[in-house]
């Protein structure tokens, strides 16, 4: 069965971008966990590089995906720097299948943002480490800008993040040809049925130099009413 590795950006001592009372590491984890929950309803194995607020180096993230022989690697991030909207990245030297898969995924996610009034900033290429060092097709998604007032309001919305996770799942399903799991009577199972089939790194044998495995835990139930972002305290 195909395996997708979902990579929530940053974590632990690395908060990622910070702005408007939010930390990128929290939002990327929230989106990733919701995405893993949705994908558990498809015929695919799902692994999170982290499922809690821990620090993992970029090499560790790539080693996990490579050692698992993953079919696809999807890194979830939030942007910063004064812009607004959504953009996706693949490795600058990538071509062929990586481009084709990204194009399908990007179209689904961009449509979600555009329907909400946000800009599609385009399909881009870069030499990001996790895109260069993974041995399978890989994509990095930059979902809105944490330092933009309007963008950040949506990043604080549980319903918006849930919808975003669904859009990413639709894109992955379309790109990779994923099919819903069959229910008891041969019917497709509800996509949000359970956490069954969602795994973390702790379920696999990883080289001894892969630090932080003791921090992995199984998925907790998702909060559907509100997303509780980190609030900065000012002196």
Q: For the chain, which domains are there?
A: 3-215 (3.40.630.40)
- % residues pLDDT > 90 (the chain): 76
pTM metric for this prediction: 0.82
pLDDT, position 185: 58
What is the C-alpha separation between 174 and 10, in angstroms, rounded?
27
- Residue 142 contacts residue 9 (beta carbons within 8 Å): no
Is 142 in the active site? yes
CB burial of residue 157 (10 Å; 0-12, 13-18, 19+): middle
pLDDT, position 184: 64
pLDDT, position 182: 84
Q: Which two tokens stand for residue 110?
A: 């961009």
Catalytic residue among 37, 45, 87, 142: 142
If DSSP codes are grouped into helix, strand and coil, which group holds residue 183?
A: coil
User: 38-42, 200-204, 211-215: which range is least confident on average?
Assistant: 211-215
∠ CA 179-46-39, nearest 5°, is 45
pLDDT, position 203: 43
């Amino acid at each position: 069965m195909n395996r997708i590795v979902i990579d929530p950006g940053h974590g632990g001592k690395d908060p990622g971008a910070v702005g408007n009372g939010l930390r990128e590491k929290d939002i990327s984890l929230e989106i990733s966990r919701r995405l893993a929950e949705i994908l558990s309803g498809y015929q695919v194995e799902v692994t999170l590089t982290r499922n809690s607020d821990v620090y993992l180096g970029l090499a560790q993230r790539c080693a996990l995906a490579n050692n698992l022989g993953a079919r696809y690697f999807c890194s979830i991030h939030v942007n910063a720097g004064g812009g607004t909207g959504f953009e996706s990245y693949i490795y600058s030297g990538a071509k062929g299948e990586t481009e084709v898969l990204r194009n399908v995924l990007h179209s689904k996610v961009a449509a979600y943002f555009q329907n909400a009034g946000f800009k599609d900033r385009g399909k881009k290429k870069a030499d990001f480490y996790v895109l260069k060092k993974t041995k399978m097709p890989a994509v990095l998604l930059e979902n809105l800008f944490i330092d933009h007032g309007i963008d950040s309001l949506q990043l604080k919305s549980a319903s918006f993040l849930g919808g975003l996770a669904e859009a990413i799942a639709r894109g992955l399903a379309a790109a990779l040809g994923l099919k819903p799991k069959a229910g008891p009577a041969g019917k497709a199972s509800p996509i949000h049925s359970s956490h069954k089939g969602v795994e973390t790194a702790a379920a696999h044998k990883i080289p001894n130099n892969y630090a932080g495995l003791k921090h992995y835990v199984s998925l907790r139930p998702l909060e559907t009413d509100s997303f509780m972002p980190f609030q900065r305290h000012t002196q």
